[in-house]
Amino acid sequence: MGSEISNALELELHREFARRLDNFKGQQLWIDDAIGGIVHQDPNLYSYVLRVKDISSVLTKIDGKIGDEKRRLEIGELHPSQAKWVNAKNFNDFEALIDDWVGCRVIAYLHDSILPLHQEIISHQRFKIIRVTIHDSIENPRFSDMQLQKGRDERRMNHNGYVGIHYIIEPVPVDPCWGREPKLFHKFELQVRTLLQEAWGQIQHAVIYKGRMPDYIKQERSDAFGGLAGFLSQCDVELARLAKDPVIKKLAAPRKVKTRKQLHLKLEKPKN
């Protein structure tokens, strides 16, 4: 593993993660039921994906966070008392810091569908919203008029063009069958973005976030991805405009197909 994690700590993280894995999988089933009920009833939503973070991703994240805090401490950008990752010493410390042990992503066809979905999520009886982070594009803002809870939520205006809403949610055990298992109800992360942003995000995450490369190459690739994300944001706007065009909507409407009953088909009796 990375140089920021000692062998003893890595062993503890492996052991405790394996002990908690069944709980994470149980929570994944609960989220599947809650989010699936929303997505399957809304034709404007493309799909959703769920995953439990694997231990290799956990270790990579911890290693990167500790390394980043150490760099910021060295240049005086971060006060030692604020270094949460550097000061974490065991699994329980890291469990509290990591929000996405279980994660879900809802993918909408168009960004116009995200606003009504947002209202449904924040008012859902099974969700206690811990934090909302709005990622918006400086060049092509989408959610600049959305209200945030002061002191809890945040807005990030990105140069890279990424647009989406991230939620940290604590499950509310309203279901009697799950009420007997309170340990299952750990906070989880829910991301909402468009289909175009999903394609961009998946590739960017693999190449930049998880990529092992010198900083100057990472910056060069980040700039390229940023330009592409801005272009995709413009495509989202144009697709939304086309979807609202009454002429296009009329042409795109499904044709009515006559059924057998409507065609009055007469079936011959089989001959003996």
The mean per-residue pLDDT over the stretch 198-215 comes to 61
- Single-letter amino acid, residue 51: R
State how far the Cα of 195 lies from the Cα of 113, in Å rounded to an integer. 11
pLDDT beyond 60 at 267: no
**Edge-to-edge strands, sheet with 127-137:** 45-52, 102-108, 188-194, 164-171, 127-137, 154-158
% residues pLDDT > 90 (the chain): 42
Domains (ranges, CATH) in the chain?
7-194 (3.30.460.10)
State how far the Cα of 102 lies from the Cα of 187, in Å rounded to an integer. 8
The mean per-residue pLDDT over the stretch 205-217 comes to 53
> pLDDT (tens digit, 9 = 90+) per residue, 153-175?
999 998 777 889 999 999 887 76
State the DSSP string of 90-135: SHHHHHHH-S-SEEEEEEESSGGGHHHHHHHHHT-TTEEEEEEEEE
Is there a contact between 110 and 236 (Cβ–Cβ < 8 Å)? yes
> pLDDT (tens digit, 9 = 90+) per residue, 94-142?
999 999 999 999 999 888 889 999 999 999 988 999 999 999 888 778 8
pTM: 0.77
More confident residue, 267 or 7: 7
In degrees, to the nearest 5, what angle opens at C-alpha 99 toward C-alphas 80 and 83? 5
